[in-house]
Amino acid sequence: MLFDAYRVHYGQPPALDPTRSWLSEQLDRQRFRVAIASLGDNVCGLITTTVIPASLTLRTAWLIRDLYVDPAVRRSGAARALLLDVIETARGEGALRLSLQTEPDNAAALSLYGSLGFTQVDDLVALNLRC
Every domain of the chain and the residues it spans: 35-115
Query: Rounded mean pLDDT of the chain?
Result: 95
Burial of 1 (0-12, 13-18, 19+ CB in 10 A): middle
| Residues 95-131: tens digit of each pLDDT | 999 999 999 999 999 999 999 999 999 998 989 999 9
Instruction: Provide the pLDDT for residue 126.
Output: 86
- State the architecture of 35-115 in CATH terms: 3-Layer(aba) Sandwich (3.40)
Per-residue pLDDT of the chain (131 residues; tens, 9 = 90+): 999 999 999 999 999 999 999 999 999 999 999 999 998 889 999 999 999 999 999 999 999 999 999 999 999 999 999 999 999 999 999 999 999 999 999 999 999 999 999 999 999 898 999 99
69 contacts 39 by C-beta, under 8 angstroms: no
